[in-house]
Amino acid sequence: MCGKYTLMVGSLSKEMNALLTSFSDGSAVWAALVKGGDAEIGPGDLAPALVLRRRALRVEPMRWGFPASAGRLVINARAETASERPMFRRLVEAGRCALPAAGYFEWRDCDGRKHLIQPDDAPAMYLAGLCRMEDDGQWRFVVLTRPALGEHARIHDRMPVTLRTGAEARGWLEGVLTLEQIRALCPPLHIQPLGVEQMRMPLDDI
């Protein structure tokens, strides 16, 4: 699964930094996020999400997680079944987003050790996501996940669906790339152990 990720704004491309900086004008929250350097984003947090509006790329503020029962949050959607699940089926066609990230964190199942996972051949990547507007007018997103590959499988059996380039992210947003195609797109990853920090949150990956 994916339970936390980082922007590390200084590592993002000039294009992405320009989008974020432009978006944050007039917003103290976004200005702090962009200038904060190693911003970590967790479930329930606001995050910058890329979407297409009338074929123009925009950055929108979205909160991570769909509300579920008993105060829980659904933060991930399985790419293999998203098109079949009532919660996600419509969003696969009409609710796509991409989350800029310099890396994400994963906790090893056996001992709760935290790992930072980053692309091995680029300063940043995008996490493929689905989004929807809630009744209160707030946009929310979930991150798509897939079965883990390679060394990642030694830490956890799931990993986020990652998009290596802006072109791949746009292909996902435009509907050019299908769920099946983006599941096959996984950049080489660098895995760095950080320490023991068990994550205990009311989260669901469905």
pLDDT tens track for 11-27 = 556 666 666 655 544 45
Q: Which of 47-61, 104-118, 128-142, 185-199 has the lowest mean pLDDT?
A: 185-199
Q: Is residue 143's pLDDT more than 70?
A: yes
The tokens for 156 are 């956890």
State the pLDDT confidence band at 38, using cuts at 50, 70 and 90: low
Would you state the pLDDT for residue 90? 96
Single-letter code of the amino acid located at 179: L
Whole-model pTM?
A: 0.83
Q: For the chain, what percent of residues have pLDDT higher than 70?
A: 76
Average pLDDT, the chain: 81
Predicted local distance difference test score (pLDDT) of residue 200 = 45
- Answer whether residue 201 shows pLDDT above 60: no
Q: For domain 4-205, is the CATH number 3.40.50.1980? A: no
Q: How far apart are CA 163 and CA 202, in angstroms?
A: 27
Q: Tally the C-alpha atoms within 13 A of residue 131's C-alpha that lie toward its C-beta.
A: 27
Residue 9 predicted with pLDDT over 50: yes
Q: What is the mean pLDDT of residues 189-193?
A: 81
Q: Are strands 66-67 and 73-78 parallel, antiparallel or unpaired?
A: antiparallel
Question: In residues, how long is the chain?
Answer: 206
Cα–Cα distance measured from residue 8 to residue 21, given in angstroms and rounded to the nearest whole number: 14
Q: Is the pLDDT of residue 172 over 90?
A: yes
Cα–Cα dist 143/206, whole Å: 11
Domain ranges of the chain: 4-205
Would you say residue 164 has pLDDT above 70? Answer: yes
How far is it, in rounded angstroms, from Cα 171 to Cα 161?
Answer: 14
Kindly tell me if the per-residue pLDDT of 77 is higher than 60: yes
Averaged over 79-102, what is the pLDDT? 94
CB-based contacts of 129, cutoff 8 Å, min separation 6: 49, 96, 97, 98, 99, 141, 142, 143, 144
Q: What does DSSP assign to residue 180?
A: H
